[in-house]
Chains A and B, each alone.
Chain A
């Protein structure tokens, strides 16, 4: 019993010693310091600030009014009044409007054909063209939303005028036999930041961990610091101490930075935050752990300091897309879905977004939560194996 306690005590001391070494690397190695501390502190602020206006309102458009009638002018006026678009000018024909588009003075235009008013007056359908620049989807969305809103509004009035009802009640039924109401749940402003930032925040946690652990591992491989570790630690248990010790150091640092990223940043930028702190804590725990061990596994591949930057940075945008936030999960081909399951960020982004912006409870993100624990265990094992392999290699070299 005493012997066992002694072993445990020595193991703990060993682990804490390695943890202390790694912490001093994080603080004193400028490269690691940048990615483990500065980037997690600064980058979320920058990103949130870029998207802080949330919406694209008042997209400049032009009107091509070939009808020159009271109705067409009403349509134009209402387009201008819409929150989505702003009428910047009138064009005499479509070619003129295209010219304006080319010069990027406008991002769309409305074509009111010459028979617009005549058709309505004679009881035929009138067609209005809504043209949008596809340089950005938000332009298209704005032009189409505004045009649809205006047409529905005018349709209502025209219908009522035509029906020749006697009472207001009849008018209302004529306009809309069925009423409809839209409710935007969770992200009620339909903002861009509320949608993208939570995903980016989680991705920042994973990528900075990969970068800093990769850099620290690469540096260790460069100066043969692993060799020092082997000499100080004993053969079999050494590997375990190295893994847990290094992991613990990053866990200390990231328990602070992740709290800042996941809770403080959304608060500063008024993002939706309806998640319960307890659920967030329970969910982020395996996320950080799996990221750390994933990074420790990969760090063995890094033969020098710079490799982690060259290899990892370019994966950021693909990972964001594979997570199912930018591009719906239901449309991701099975192969890429499978690949995305290898990365903690896929589950982390989905779970965090649902807890934070959709108010999900921990039991509603259980699949993701389990997946993260499985990843933690698997990547811990792989980190152990790769670390042992590294030690073997170094030992051979020493001999």
Chain B
């Protein structure tokens, strides 16, 4: 171990040994290349429209007047809505909703036109369902806009009749106008919002699984002792040389994902190339560290894999991308600190979306670095387990 030449030779030896293992079985190819690229292509092509366009909606028209038909046409002309069918009763429309044919509907009561002209304040009702959150909330905002338009149109014709100009009429009808600004994602592109996190999440899941598998299969095939001997009985050297091929491979995949998202699909990235690469490196290393941590704590292949898959799947929920951290129950908030994806999300928001430098995102990086440091503490335990291990199915 004193001899540096020996050290390098051992390292190279184990490194090459791992390369052979990697290429010997198709499962490695699946986890390193096929699955990540599949996820990358799947999420980006699934949500390629950005916002769901032409969502099916219905109308219950009990009025059957030129006014009500006008409303239906306006609704149909909206970008996000397609009027699938006009129903003759509430029950038919609800039935269509329960059958999954429409996401919501507008109810125009009978005598709508007559009541409108007689200033009896007819009521438009819109029914949406949040059983599906995205179409539900989008449809809600569109139907709400529509009823505002209808209400405005009624008032406007009255104002025109009194000789008001369009500007005057609009100022009367809508004194305060809200201009919404979705910062860093002005088109409300769901793909930008979701793909940028789902893909790294899937990658981290695969990385920690494959790390556990790479170490665990040594135990399973009874080669752990040989591996340690080859690495000169140094767990630090053995482990580094063993996982380095995966680090390189996953960095390659990670960089490809970065290129595809930010270079090819041109998703906003205010972080710059160097920081994006740093974040990708942090992602790969922290996920590998997580795998090592799991296997050190429960040094059986099956339990290690089970833990990393359960952990990895939960990480999508607790990282705070879909359901905000602030709204979670306190124990879950505490728990979320144990997931590297949470720190990835924090850095991603700060660095990639907001364009902040390290001065703002260091806390997230610190979390990732802490994950990377933990295996160094657990290594002694891992070595002991590897020496005394027997494969338990």
Contact = CB atoms under 8 A, between A and B. Distances in A.
Contacts of B54: 330
Contacts of B173: 159
A311 interface: yes
Contacts, number: 326
Contacts of A321: 42-43, 46
A49 B124 contact: no
Contacts of B129: 184-187, 358
A83 interface: no
Contact of B182 (A104, A132, A147, A314): A132
A137 B349 contact: no
Interface residues of B, number: 120
Interface residues of A, number: 110
Contacts of B193: 134, 136-137
B235 interface: no
Contact of A128 (B42, B150, B179, B310): B179
A333 B48 contact: yes
Interface in B42-71: 42-43, 45-49, 52-56
A310 B30 contact: yes
Contact of A179 (B52, B124, B131, B137): B124
Interface in B112-163: 116, 119, 121-137, 140-141, 143-144, 147-148, 150-151, 154-155, 158
A298 B216 CA distance: 24
Given A53-B327, A182-B140, A336-B42, A125 B177 contact: yes
B274 interface: no
Nearest to B185: A134
B324 A47 contact: no
B255 interface: no
B46 A336 contact: yes
Interface of A is mostly: helix
A333 B45 contact: yes
Given A182-B144, A321-B43, A330-B56, A134 B182 contact: yes
B362 interface: no
Contacts of A353: 131
A148 B327 CA distance: 22
B228 interface: no
B350 A360 contact: no
A57 to B, nearest CB: 7
A167 to B, nearest CB: 11
A354 B177 contact: no
Nearest to B176: A151
A183 B93 CA distance: 14
A259 interface: no
A130 B324 contact: no
Interface in B373-393: 393
B39 interface: yes
B10 interface: no
A50 B318 contact: yes
A152 B188 CA distance: 23
A46 B339 CA distance: 15
A138 interface: yes
A27 interface: no
A306 B175 contact: no
Interface of A: 29-31, 34-35, 39, 43, 46-47, 49-53, 55-57, 59, 75, 101-104, 120, 123-141, 143-144, 147-148, 151-152, 154-155, 158-159, 162, 172-174, 176-187, 190-192, 194-196, 219, 305-307, 309-311, 313-314, 316-318, 321-322, 324-333, 336, 350, 353-354, 357-361, 364-365
17 contacts: A50-B314, A51-B317, A53-B327, A104-B350, A128-B177, A134-B353, A151-B176, A192-B133, A306-B213, A313-B309, A318-B39, A326-B133, A327-B46, A327-B52, A333-B46, A354-B98, A358-B98
Interface of B: 27, 30-31, 35, 38-39, 42-43, 45-49, 52-56, 82, 94-95, 97-100, 103-104, 116, 119, 121-137, 140-141, 143-144, 147-148, 150-151, 154-155, 158, 167-168, 170-185, 188, 190, 192-193, 198, 201-202, 205-206, 209-210, 213, 216-217, 301-303, 305-306, 309-310, 312-314, 316-318, 320-324, 326-329, 331-332, 349-350, 353-354, 356, 360, 393
Closest 6 CB pairs of A and B: A331-B52, A180-B147, A360-B98, A134-B185, A177-B154, A187-B130
